[in-house]
Each structure stands twice: as C-alpha cells, then as structure tokens.
Amino acid sequence: MTPRIPKAELPAGLKANMVEQLGAVPENVEVLWHSPEVAQDNLEFGGRVGAWDRADTSLKSFAHMAVAAQVGCTWCLDVGYFQAQNGNLDLSKASQVPRWRESDVFTPLERDVMEYAEAVTNTPPTVTDEMHAALLDRLGAPAMVELTAFIAYVNLATRANVANGVGSQGFSDACAIPLAKPAATA
C-alpha cells in the first residue's frame, strides 16, 4: 500500500532514534510529520499508553493485533508482531491473533480479551454487560480501565493508518514464526 499523503522528511535526530528503536523509520510517522505537532503528540501519547502497566502486556498485545486485523491495519499487525518478539511474548500465540477464532493456542481469558477488543472496535460498539463484567471479574477495575482505554487508543492509531494508506513495512519479517493472515483473507 502506498501512503495517500507523501512522506515528510523527519528531523535527523528523530529519524536516527526511530531507526535505532525499530530498524527503520515508521511510514506512519513520516506521513503525520506534515503536522509535526500532531505527530509529536501522537508519539508522546502512544509512549504513555505503552508505559501503562495494570493490564498484562500479552493481553494488550493480543487486543492490539485483534483490532488491527479487524480494521485492516497491516502496519499495526506487522509492527505489533515485531514488538511481541522484542517483548519476549509468546510468538506462537501472537502469530495466530489474526485468526484467533480458528486457532487452539489461546486461553479462555485471551479469547475473551480479543472478543472484547473487537466488540469495542465495532461500529457501533457491541460490548455487552456480561462481556464486560466477566473481564472485570477476572482482571480487576484498574486493569479493565487500562485495557479499555488501550483498545480505544489502538482504534485511533489503526484507523488513522488505514485512512492515510499506511501499510506493512516488513517489520515482522525478522520474526521466527510467520504471522498468520486473518481468516477472511487467508
């Protein structure tokens, strides 16, 4: 996919930092850099969201990738899987998130989190009282608040990437286990 907005040139220091962190400059940052304020605020808020620690990192990673698969954000799936590897998460599970309903590698809690992430993502949202209560009971209020806000942020990021035409950059090519394609596109 070719970005719908041409990439802007980043400041040298930011560019070097991105290459050091990810091995390449993320195209979504280059697209957003046409408005440096938007790009910087997005990076700052994303960094803050990534530092939250009340919900399990694996659950948030699976939720992020479930949203990305549903919205069609190939960039988020690509980088999410790459980040799962760098975070020492279970790659055999992370690789199967795009087809979580057909895969047998997930626990009931992980399945419920991905179902919740998709329900939050639906337009309009389809979260039920029962779905929310079941997760709240297992996760506790602080983690449930964080998970919900995390999923909402991921929706902002995935939808902006898709709308701006930002696609996969090949970050996941470095991972040992291939990333599964969503069941609908497999």
For residue 97, what are the CA distances in angstroms to 18, 19, 20, 102, 134?
Answer: 26, 27, 27, 10, 21
pLDDT at 128: 98
Instruction: Report the distance separating Cα 132 and Cα 107, nearest Å.
Output: 17
Is the distance from CB of 51 to CB of 184 less than 8 angstroms? Answer: no
Q: Which residues of the chain have pLDDT under 50?
A: none
Instruction: Specify the amino acid at residue 153.
Output: Y
pLDDT at 184: 60
pLDDT at 48: 97
* pTM for this prediction: 0.93
Instruction: Specify the amino acid at residue 125.
Output: P
Instruction: Report the distance separating Cα 60 and Cα 7, nearest Å.
Output: 29
Question: Which distant-in-sequence residues (6+ apart) come within 8 Å of 78 by Cβ?
Answer: 168, 169, 170, 171, 172, 179
All domains of the chain in start order, with CATH: 54-174 (1.20.1290.10)
Is the distance from CB of 23 to CB of 79 less than 8 angstroms? Answer: no
pLDDT at 176: 81
Name the DSSP class of 98. Answer: G
Which tens digits make up the pLDDT trace of 34-73?
999 999 999 999 999 999 999 999 999 999 999 999 999 9
